[in-house]
Amino acid sequence: MVGPLRPVFVLFGSSIVQYSFSNGGWGAILADVYARKADILLRGYTGWNSRRALQVVDKIFPKDAAVQPSLIIVYFGGNDSIGPHPSGLGPHVPLPEYTENMSRIADHLKSLSEKTRIIFLTCPPINEELLRQSTSAALSEIVRTNETCQRYSEACIKLCNDMDVKAIDLWTAIQKQDDWANICFTDGIHLSSAGSRIVAEEILKVLKEAEWEPSLHWKSLPTEFGEDSPYDLVTSDGISTINPSEWTFHREIQWD
C-alpha cells in the first residue's frame, strides 16, 4: 500500500473489464477522471463466466480486509450467454444459474461494508457478423447472438432492481449510438474506444445521480495534495502562482 489512503474503486469482470485499460478503454478513462481522487483497481479475467467468478469472489474481496472498496463495478454475462457446446465444455451458464450466481456475488459484495457501493454492467450488444469474421480458427464455433445478450441483460437488470443494486443497461445504451455495430467494437464483442466512451459516460452518470453518502462522483471527492504552493507555476504578473491540481484541459472529452 502507498499513502495517503484514497477511496478504492475495483473493476471486476471478464474481458470487457480486463481490456478496459487498452485502446482508450473505459477503465483508463475512469483512472484519468479520478486521478488524485480515487484508486482504480483492475480485477479482470478474460473468458470468465459468473460460475468462475462466484468460485473466487471471496478471495478477491475478503471480508476481513483492512480496507474495503468504496465502489465495485461488476460485469459478467457475455460469456455465460454463449450457446452450450455439445461436449459440455465451455463458458455457457444457463440463464437461471447466471441469475443465481450474480445474486450470490451481489450478496457477498454487499456484506463487505455498509459504505461499499455496487454497480452491475449488463451484457452489451454484439456485431454478430464481425464476431464470425474475427473468431480464430483455433476455436470451435462461438454461438453468441444479440437475442441471448438481451435476455441476459434483462435478467441482470431485474436482479439489480430486486436487490437494490445500481444497474447500467449497456445493451440499450450502446445501441443509441449511430452506427453502433460498426464503431463500438474491435472484433464484434470487445469494445473500441467509442464503445468504451459510452460505458464511461453511463458510469459517471450513475455516480453523479446516486444519492450516496458520501458521494463518489469525481467532482465531490477531494484532490490529493491540492493546496496552493509557491512551487506551482508562476502567473504572468510574476507575483503569484497558479494551482494546476484541478486542470482538465488535457482531456479530449470534458466529462461531467
The answer to whether 193 is a known catalytic residue is no
Listed residue (36, 48, 33) closest to 204, CA to CA: 33
15 is catalytic: no
Catalytic residue among 22, 103, 108, 187: 187
CA angle centred on 85, ends 82 and 87, rounded to 5°:
155
* Alpha-carbon span 246 to 211, nearest angstrom: 24
Catalytic residue among 169, 190, 196, 217: 190
Is 187 among the residues known to form the active site? yes
Residue 131: which residues within 8 A CB-CB, separation 6 or more? 142, 144, 187, 188, 189
DSSP for 98-141 reads HHHHHHHHHHHHHTS-TT-EEEEEPPP---HHHHHHHS-TTS--
Q: Which of 14, 20, 50, 153 is catalytic?
A: 14
Q: Which residues are catalytic?
A: 14, 187, 190
